[in-house]
Structure 1
Amino acid sequence: MTPTPTPARLPGLAEAADLGRTPVDITAVLDHLAAEADTAAPTSIGFPGAVDLDHREVMARLGHRLWNNIGDPTDTGGTPHTRVLEQAVIAWLADTLYMPADDRWGYVTTGGTEGNLSALHAAHRRLPTARIYYSTAAHYSIPKIIEMLGARGVVVEAGADGEMDYDHLAVRVRRHRRWPAIVVATAGTTMTEAVDDTTRIRAVLDAFEVPGRHLHVDAALSGIPLALDGQLRLDDDSGIGSVTVSGHKFLGVPTPCGVVLIRDSLRRDSTPVTYTATLDTTVTGSRCGLAAALLWHAIATHGREGHRWRVSEARHLAAYTVDKLTTAGWPAWRHPHAFTVVLPTPPAAVRAKWLLATNDDVSHLICMPGVTHGQIDAFVTDLTDTTEPGGGPGSGYPHHPRVIPRPRPAPAGRGGQ
């Protein structure tokens, strides 16, 4: 019997990059990619993608066609599209966030970065001299977007737990108080899933009587869970002008996507495009209608109560993980709302097997919906088996216990908390 080829020797794989010269064994390449993904799945616990939802029905029915949601979601013409589903997704999320029905607009994006760009572009057009404030724990897209806009950014320190340092924000705002302010708050920072308190941010802006403001919330990971809790709201009392969430994180859509919501009153008029007979209101123009259909399917299949149950189960697993790690002698913690568990960076042998997110001597795993108790138990077993006997966490890494911060007590304020 012919032995199964190793991944590196699969027919056609090495030649896959040279499409212009060498015949490619297409089936072998696709099989290899699928096998790699299947092999990695049980130990991929470091990045936020839910794996409990089944999207195969949508992919089977719609995945072989082009669905181009070009222009504004309210446009009706053009090539085959799923704008009616996109509108339903926008309405569901806006309702969940208590956004006023007469002051809302949004669309399905390629992900959180495009959502941030769309929101900050709208804010910058309205407040072109504004300083854009963001914390050191904000997503890496924010300084990139500020550079793209030709705007002035102001960096604010974050605490060790990932939440914005409001005292330092006050220092920075005081220095630039003559200028309008665009502030990027984060609901779910990349390393600790910290949530910035928009009530405290607004208090700082009020204290220095900032002339003109826009408060944007980058809620890529935590936005939907917090909205389902009622802890993130875009009602008139919130003072929040825009928000972005990801679709491939909590909703587990199998293609990068997201949703941006902006108060309609804070946008400028858009330009009609004769060629497409649409309004040019979005960053990319042509947009993936399949992503809108996948988001709609995830929402319609489970509804609010189903997704609240998914949030609860994921948080219970995160609490279990903290208990399991600390019992095993590894200091770990999480914010009360979070799926993310923070721990000292494990030894290289553990990280070679388990896909974790690591920043120097701090790592995290994320108990997204679909991650199981069995995966957590296996990770902790590998962690304790790899640690030298008697050494405890950080054996050979004596700095570890020092770098595990504890979250600050949650404030009573609403907004981003």
Structure 2
Amino acid sequence: MTPPFEQLLDRLTTASYTSIGFPCAVDIDYRPLAPLLGVLLNNVGDPWTDGIHPMHAKGIERDVLGYFAELFRAPPGWTGYVTSGGTEGNHYGLWLGRTRLPNAIAYHSDAAHYSVAKAEHLLGLPGITVATLPTGEINYADLQRQASRWRSRPAIVTANIGTTMTEAVDDVHRIHEALDEAGVTHRYVHSDAALAGVPLALTADRPAFDLADGADSISISGHKFFGTPLICGVALARRGPSDTPAAIRYIGAPDASISGSRTGLGVVMLAHALDILGTAGLSDRTHRARDIATYTCRRLHHIGWPHWRNPGAFTVMLREPPDAVRTRWRLPSTDGWSHLICMPGVTTRQIDDFVEELSTAVPVQS
């Protein structure tokens, strides 16, 4: 009888070729880190204090955080940590916002990741959903209208830096302008940059989204652009909680994180990717992924299949294919549209195979 883990590996290996609807890079080899599977790496508590527990990788975590702080132009006094993923990063950012503005109203667009509304609920923040433009970008006029109704209350706004469906990017400068026009003086902006944060930071004509652009906090996912086989992420903030926690005697370190015990292995994986690629390698991956997205649009145009793409996005929107094609290629769909995501590691062969299958399907109704 085949062991369960081998059955799982067989299934995942088979599924990986046609799994182009979800954002996970597949071009970085993390197998050299396999010896670390024999030890526990728990970066418990604050990354800036090693603490009593010796089985950690906090020194490496500090280096990783320093890299992303420079990439996202963090000011002096910044803080952050390696999280369990984008959901925790969003929770952390909104928690910092509520800590500073306890009477705030939270605003997020209807294209926001589902974790945003969940974090607002867990934090007891009244949440208001803002409309989006056809591209998926937040509707700044609607944000102004909604916020003006509550101008006496502070605002906590989540900016989407690469929405889940269309990879639309909200402009942090325009969010601040909308709040100014609404008469909201006190505000906090969190950038949910789970997918697009790193690629955009490596782009010459980058939009306004990071800590130098007016975001108070930012979070990314490690398992998307970096394709880490362990779910993780990074959260950074201009400054930490106003009431810095005291050291916890049991662990010998303070803890201002959401999760407490945190992955040391994920830290090492991120460090491994940064070490072997560097900024130049990450930039090259970004350009190659965008080239594949451009190639995808050309192939879809060739067969006459309706499609569109936000500027610079890895994500290509296409009119929803027949169920058999959509299911086989794992394409999420909404309102008659599906998407595929040309993450680093997706090849022209995969795109060709997908388009060939699509071209023999039932013709789409324009």
* Shorter-chain TM-score tier: over 0.9
2:47 to 73, 84, 92: 73
Query: For the residues of structure 2 that align with 1:333 and 1:285, how far apart are their CA atoms?
Result: 42
In the alignment, what sits opposite 2:210?
Answer: 234
In the alignment, what sits opposite 1:120?
Answer: 94
Query: Does 1:281 find its partner at 2:256?
Result: yes
Q: Is the 8 A contact 1:187 1:220 kept in 2?
A: yes
Q: Is the 8 A contact 1:126 1:268 kept in 2?
A: no
SS in 1 for 2:254: strand
Q: Is the 8 A contact 2:25 2:225 kept in 1?
A: yes
In the alignment, what sits opposite 2:154?
Answer: 180
Query: For the residues of structure 2 that align with 1:235 and 1:305, how far apart are their CA atoms?
Result: 22
Query: Does 1:248 find its partner at 2:219?
Result: no
In the alignment, what sits opposite 1:196?
Answer: 170
1:215 to 180, 189, 205: 189
Query: For the residues of structure 1 that align with 2:77 and 2:338, how far apart are their CA atoms?
Result: 40
In the alignment, what sits opposite 1:94?
Answer: 69
Q: Quick one: which amino acid aligns to residue 204 of structure 1?
A: A
Query: For the residues of structure 2 that align with 1:377 and 1:302, how far apart are their CA atoms?
Result: 28
Q: Is the 8 A contact 1:234 1:240 kept in 2?
A: yes
Q: Is the 8 A contact 1:271 1:281 kept in 2?
A: no
In the alignment, what sits opposite 2:113?
Answer: 139
* TM-aligned CA deviation for residue 204 of structure 1: 1.1
* TM-aligned CA deviation for residue 271 of structure 1: 3.4
Percent same amino acid among aligned pairs? 44
Q: Is the 8 A contact 2:211 2:218 kept in 1?
A: no
Query: For the residues of structure 2 that align with 1:199 and 1:291, how far apart are their CA atoms?
Result: 32
Q: Quick one: which amino acid aligns to residue 69 of structure 1?
A: N
In the alignment, what sits opposite 1:51?
Answer: 26
SS in 1 for 2:225: coil
* TM-aligned CA deviation for residue 356 of structure 1: 1.1
Query: Does 1:306 find its partner at 2:277?
Result: no
Q: Is the 8 A contact 1:114 1:283 kept in 2?
A: yes
Normalising by the residue count of structure 1, what TM-score does the alignment of the two structures yield? Answer: 0.85
SS in 2 for 1:229: coil
* TM-aligned CA deviation for residue 228 of structure 1: 1.3
Q: Is the 8 A contact 1:188 1:194 kept in 2?
A: yes
* TM-aligned CA deviation for residue 64 of structure 1: 1.7
Q: Quick one: which amino acid aligns to residue 71 of structure 1?
A: G
Query: For the residues of structure 2 that align with 1:380 and 1:61, how far apart are their CA atoms?
Result: 40
Query: For the residues of structure 2 that align with 1:280 and 1:328, how far apart are their CA atoms?
Result: 55
Q: Quick one: which amino acid aligns to residue 228 of structure 2?
A: V
Query: For the residues of structure 2 that align with 1:126 and 1:233, how far apart are their CA atoms?
Result: 21
* TM-aligned CA deviation for residue 266 of structure 1: 5.9
In the alignment, what sits opposite 1:169?
Answer: 143
In terms of Rg, which structure is larger? 1
1:206 to 180, 183, 207: 180
In the alignment, what sits opposite 1:345?
Answer: 320
Q: Is the 8 A contact 1:69 1:287 kept in 2?
A: yes
Query: For the residues of structure 2 that align with 1:151 and 1:352, how far apart are their CA atoms?
Result: 37
Q: Is the 8 A contact 1:333 1:343 kept in 2?
A: yes
Unmatched segments (≥5 aa) in structure 2: none
In the alignment, what sits opposite 1:160?
Answer: 134
Show CA shifts across 1:366-403 (max 9, x none): 0000000000000000001122xxxx323xxxxxx4xx
In the alignment, what sits opposite 1:268?
Answer: 243
In the alignment, what sits opposite 2:4?
Answer: 29
* TM-aligned CA deviation for residue 103 of structure 1: 2.3
Query: Does 1:151 find its partner at 2:122?
Result: no
C-alpha RMSD of the superposition: 1.3
Q: Is the 8 A contact 1:71 1:286 kept in 2?
A: yes
In the alignment, what sits opposite 1:40?
Answer: 15
Query: Does 1:330 find its partner at 2:305?
Result: yes
Q: 1:233 to 1:152 in 2, by over 3 A?
A: closer
Normalising by the residue count of structure 2, what TM-score does the alignment of the two structures yield? Answer: 0.96
Q: Is the 8 A contact 2:191 2:210 kept in 1?
A: no
SS in 2 for 1:248: helix
Query: For the residues of structure 1 that align with 2:110 and 2:61, how far apart are their CA atoms?
Result: 33
Count of aligned positions: 363
Query: For the residues of structure 1 that align with 2:210 and 2:116, how far apart are their CA atoms?
Result: 21
* TM-aligned CA deviation for residue 332 of structure 1: 0.9
In the alignment, what sits opposite 2:36?
Answer: 62
Query: For the residues of structure 1 that align with 2:70 and 2:209, how far apart are their CA atoms?
Result: 10
In the alignment, what sits opposite 1:110?
Answer: 84
